[in-house]
A and B are shown apart, each in its own frame.
Chain A
Amino acid sequence: MADEAMEPGGGGVTKKFLYVNRKAPYGTIYALESLEVVLIGAAFEQDVSMVFADDGVYELKKGQDTTDSNMKNFSPTYRALEMYDVEKLYVEKESMDARGLTPDDLVVPVEVKTAAELGEIMEEQDVILSF
């Protein structure tokens, strides 16, 4: 298996990849490390979408100031996703409402979907990664 690593580009296969983000940007490493997967995965030219739900919606929140916590503020990286052809960013309506957030509070353009709509989107995916 180790010798048969494929070239980025997918070897001609294109699958629908969905990344589900449900954790706040700081407090645990899941948000940061899952973003690293998305960026590395971009080289494989798959059909990528991202869902932000529960505390994951905070990952996209504007105005993150990590000066005093000495953590890297990685929210600007979400703006770079577009350059990697990752443009389908969905936020869960119920999660946004519960946290008093609107799309204007976020650093990137998003599509707001209900949980039910997200369920339908998930049904269409080939690969779902959740961290």
Chain B
Amino acid sequence: MKFGICINEGPYTHQASDTAYQFTKAALEKGHEIFRVFFYHDGVNNGTRLTTPPQDERHIVNRWTELAEKHSLDLVVCVAAAQRRGIVDADEQKRQGKDANNLAPGFRISGLGQLIEAGIQSERLVIFGD
């Protein structure tokens, strides 16, 4: 089955990103396809490379980066939600005149149309939120 994944909460505060990760990983291990993983609302905060979680805890951001690299996943952070919350790639940094960028490897910033497309192209769009 072809799945779209939507994550609506940030790392650690809610379990949404963890559950989505476990689901995505399990689906891939069973041979399913993940069309896209889309991050909306505070979910965009899963895409900052600047987190330093405690050493003895799971590293949520890096875990996504690693899974994406292993399976060529398309991790998309919503541009509008990212702008509100300060998740910035090099292009946005230039465009908005910011002094830094922070997008984690394996993620890209794009529009809400990518979420709608995921709904259209996937057989199931699974939402992870609060």
Tell me whether A115 is interfacial, beta carbon within 8 Å.
no
Check B127 against A129 for contact (C-beta < 8 Å).
yes
Q: Hey, which chain B residues are within 8 Å of A15, CB to CB?
A: 119-120
Tell me the bound Cα distance from A11 to B114 in angstroms. Answer: 14
Main secondary structure of the interface of A (DSSP, over half): mixed
Who on chain B is nearest to A37 by CB? B112
Check A131 against B116 for contact (C-beta < 8 Å).
no
Check A6 against B74 for contact (C-beta < 8 Å).
no
Q: Which residue of B36, B113, B115 has the most chain A CB atoms within 10 A of its CB atom?
A: B113
Q: Given A46-B120, A131-B41, verify A36-B112 contact (CB < 8 Å).
A: yes
Tell me whether B86 is interfacial, beta carbon within 8 Å.
no
Who on chain B is nearest to A13 by CB? B120
Q: Hey, which chain B residues are within 8 Å of A127, CB to CB?
A: 119-120, 125
Q: Given A1-B36, A33-B81, A41-B112, verify A129-B125 contact (CB < 8 Å).
A: yes
A57 to chain B, nearest CB (A): 19
Q: Identify which of residues 12-30 in chain A touch chain B, using a CB-to-CB cut-off of 8 Å.
A: 13, 15, 17, 29-30
Check A2 against B8 for contact (C-beta < 8 Å).
no
Tell me the bound Cα distance from A98 to B60 in angstroms. Answer: 40
Residues of A within 8 Å of B, CB-based: how many? 26
Check A129 against B6 for contact (C-beta < 8 Å).
yes
Q: Hey, which chain A residues are within 8 Å of B15, CB to CB?
A: none
Q: Hey, which chain B residues are within 8 Å of A78, CB to CB?
A: none
Q: Hey, which chain B residues are within 8 Å of A8, CB to CB?
A: 113
Check A6 against B80 for contact (C-beta < 8 Å).
no
Check A1 against B120 for contact (C-beta < 8 Å).
no
A 17-55 to B, binary, CB cutoff 8 A, 1 in contact else 0: 100000000000110010011001101101000000000
Tell me the bound Cα distance from A40 to B80 in angstroms. Answer: 11
Check A131 against B8 for contact (C-beta < 8 Å).
yes
Who on chain A is nearest to B115 by CB? A37
Check B121 against A6 for contact (C-beta < 8 Å).
yes
What are 25 A-B residue pairs whose CB atoms fall within 8 Å in the complex? A1-B36, A1-B74, A2-B110, A5-B110, A5-B114, A5-B117, A6-B120, A13-B120, A17-B119, A29-B41, A33-B40, A33-B41, A33-B80, A37-B116, A40-B116, A41-B112, A41-B116, A43-B113, A44-B113, A46-B120, A127-B119, A127-B120, A128-B125, A131-B40, A131-B127
